[in-house]
């Protein structure tokens, strides 16, 4: 039984948790899609669909823009597109960003248990801070790292390794929560365990998700804070 003098029923010592942001903690993809439509339209690109947008889930904004410039022949500098995209997204994110309820509960339970946590995202530092502040998640999630701050975005492990470094925790003691295949691949490459909950249902069978240690194949509809906490407790390092 849990210690009556401890608020948390879970014993999670020796574990740190690294959260992806978009599609994992918050349902920000609709806002990114709207921002993408606006930015692309500004540079003469029309007909961008939600299905097109889904192919970019899990890839950093900067890398997405690089692909757009090649695919659509956009001559404007990448930093100009990035500034336009981020400004549009921030306006939308500040107005309305939905936190997945079970994820909020999970963060609260980890915080109560004293588990070190950090956000590692492909979004810009400004977008991460705006969302964490606006949703109230920043009260528990006080640390974050953006893929803009490392050399390579997901599926490279850079952003997760930097997250572990900032926490002062060995990668092997970190558990990553991810909704996208590039993120699951990055977690595996970083030598971290991974809880995966695919945002795009059609991608649930992606080989990258087979490397996950705990897979909620039904995504957010299947994920529960209780199931995740109980798995973390069972699989926590012995040291």
Q: What is the Cα 86 distance to its own chain's centre?
A: 17
Contact 42, 80 (CB under 8 A): no
Exactly one of 20, 22, 84, 148 is catalytic; name it. 20
Q: Per residue in 31-48, is it b (16+ CB within 10 Å) or e — as a string?
A: bbbebbbbbbeebebeeb
**Distance in angstroms (rounded) separating the CA atoms of residues 113 and 94:** 30
Q: How many of the other CB atoms lie within 10 Å of CB of 50?
A: 11
79 is a catalytic site residue = no
- State the catalytic residues: 20
């Amino acid at each position: 039984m849990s210690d009556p003098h401890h608020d948390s029923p879970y014993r999670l010592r020796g574990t740190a948790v690294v959260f992806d942001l978009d599609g994992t903690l918050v349902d920000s993809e609709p806002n990114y899609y709207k921002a993408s439509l606006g930015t692309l339209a500004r540079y003469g690109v029309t007909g961008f669909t939600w299905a097109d947008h889904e192919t970019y889930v899990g890839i950093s904004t900067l890398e997405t823009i690089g692909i757009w410039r090649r695919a659509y022949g956009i001559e404007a500098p990448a930093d100009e597109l990035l500034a336009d995209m981020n400004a549009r997204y921030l306006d939308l994110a500040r107005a309305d960003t939905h936190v997945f309820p079970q994820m909020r509960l999970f963060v609260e339970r980890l915080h109560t248990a004293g588990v070190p946590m950090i956000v590692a995202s492909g979004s810009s530092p400004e977008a991460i801070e705006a969302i964490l502040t606006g949703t109230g998640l920043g009260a528990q999630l006080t640390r974050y790292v953006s893929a803009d701050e490392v050399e390579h975005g997901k599926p490279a492990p850079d952003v997760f390794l930097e997250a572990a470094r900032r926490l002062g925790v060995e990668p092997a003691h970190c558990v990553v929560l991810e909704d996208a295949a590039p993120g699951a691949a990055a977690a595996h490459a970083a030598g971290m365990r991974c809880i995966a909950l695919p945002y795009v249902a059609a991608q649930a069978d992606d080989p990258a998700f087979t490397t996950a240690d705990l897979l909620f194949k039904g995504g957010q509809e299947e994920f529960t804070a209780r199931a995740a906490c109980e798995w973390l407790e069972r699989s926590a390092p012995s040291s």
